Structure 1
């Protein structure tokens, strides 16, 4: 039945609605900020030693909130250094929001922003065709490997752009999270196009281990309130189900058996816990850090 589904990401308006509701119902941004302020500075300490300019790239940067948080930590760790920041983001609305955020944020005079309205694959093609030799000191890819045709090849390409002491930072849902359980169970039904790769850190680590590539990883505990998913016809619950499955109008389009199976799985201890009458989904993230 998967061929009848449309990917949520293909409907930009509903995707942004669902994503905003996800942020409202989850601790995702908070756990990322805790990582950025608590652990990231030590990771950034070793990059760009002795350089007057650091080359940074954000792939799938969205509206830029996390980018600017990381750039702030980078500048604190390397005071006085100029930053050349490449932004890769396919959504014109997200790029506009990012630019607006930059215009309202003080003390960015020493950061040069280059805007690339492209998908990561379009950017890779552009980079190769132009035969660009520029190397990066820090590349980050936050929650974007779900939307590429070949996650392993994408990671390999961007890792190849790193300077000698460069770092590639990747954030994905943990293979041990509720997402991991959901996708392992229903991968065939839900992961049906290049726009909805059900990839977790378990998949990425398997690839890296097979290649003998060393990495460091950090688990970021996070939860999401999905209580509304279990009220038939609840508009917010249906939006959250769309986000969880990456399927547009999942509640309406899914065969009854698939919908019942997904809802049953979401309540199981491997996916969620019940706290004070609320169903709290395990939204744990994991950070993978690679050297050049």
Structure 2
């Protein structure tokens, strides 16, 4: 998704400086390989791929006494992993040039995914916090940031989660629970409660053929930095 955004920007400008913050080295390596294999597609884009979090990047900039400025900043499903999402929204907005655009994408507050996280907060680790669209709206309001939003319906087939022999289903459960091997490590009653909840009406839709579709709707909030008044 990030690389597609970079190419779209490049189609509008002669050159693009693309700074990417990603704490997972494996994801950065995939990005490097993608760029290397598609050099023509990414011509004119200068990639600065950094293995660090936004909080770590911010701390380094503060210690150096610098304030980076960008024309476009995207935080796509990433504000779950900051120390303070409201404070981070203010920081990202401050990093925009006048007229710059901030794009934030998070799970919707009407999605089954949000209801799941809200129902099982103790399954979350110390890295991820429960954040949905309403939290981002409140964060923007706290700084007086005006924004537009758009809702995107999305569904995930979780039918195999209910097949104890399915490896795919096991991995989907691990992803949704943010837990490694929930099936093998959680008490049986907790694992069953988890399955019952994700398969229930609050989170999913059951099709006539038995397929179970999990609601992972998300919202995009777009803010443009206004010019300072004279």
Name the TM-score, length of structure 2 as normaliser: 0.89
- 1:219 is matched with 151
Does residue 250 of structure 1 match 2:182? yes
Aligned counterparts of 1:134 and 1:207: Cα–Cα separation in 2: 21
Q: Separation in 1 of the partners of 2:183 and 2:109?
A: 25
How many Å separate the matches in 1 of 2:143 and 2:56? 25
Structure 1 residues 108-257: aligned runs within 5 Å: 108-187=42-121, 189-193=122-126, 195-257=127-189
Residue 244 of structure 1 deviates from its aligned partner by: 0.4
State the SS of the aligned residue for 1:74: helix
Question: Whole-Å Cα distance in 1 between the matches of residues 67 and 139 of structure 2?
Answer: 26
Moved >6 Å (runs of 4+):
none
Post-superposition shift, 1:211? 4.1
Cα distance in 2 for residues equivalent to 1:86 and 1:206 = 27
* RMSD (CA atoms): 1.7
* Distance change >3 Å, CA 260–CA 124, structure 1 → 2: same
Deviation at 1:243, TM superposition (A): 0.5
Shift of 1:177: 0.7
Unmatched segments (≥5 aa) in structure 1: 1-65
Tell me how far apart the structure 1 counterparts of residues 201 and 183 of structure 2 sit (CA, whole Å). Answer: 22
- 1:282 is matched with 215
The one of the two structures with greater contact order (alpha-carbon pairs below 8 A, sep at least 6) is 1
- Matches for 1:2-21 after TM superposition, within 5 Å: none
Q: CA deviation at 1:163?
A: 0.4
Unaligned runs of 5+ in 2: 226-230
- In structure 1, what is the Cα distance between the partners aligned to 2:76 and 2:87? 16
State how many pairs are aligned: 223
* Bigger share in helix: 1
Structure 1 residue 70 displacement after superposition: 0.9
Per the TM alignment, residue 206 of structure 1 is displaced from its structure 2 partner at its CA by 2.7
The alignment status of 1:271 with 2:203, answered yes or no, reads yes
Q: Using a 3 Å threshold, how does the CA distance of structure 1 residues 99 and 256 change in structure 2: closer, same or farther?
A: same
CA displacement 1:224-280 (0-9 Å, x = unmatched): 010111122432212111100111221222233332222111122221111221110
> Quick check: 2:112–2:203 contact (8 Å CA) kept in 1?
yes
Indicate the SS of the match to 1:109: coil
SS at 1:90's partner residue?
A: coil
Distance 2:184 2:215 in 1: 25
More divergent stretch after superposition (246-255 vs 276-285): 246-255
After superposition, the C-alpha distances for 1:196-229 in whole angstroms (9 at most, x for unaligned) are 2121112222332344322111111111010111
Correspondence for 1:89 among 22, 26, 33? 22
Secondary structure of the residue that 1:115 maps to in structure 2? strand
**Structure 1-normalised TM-score?**
0.71
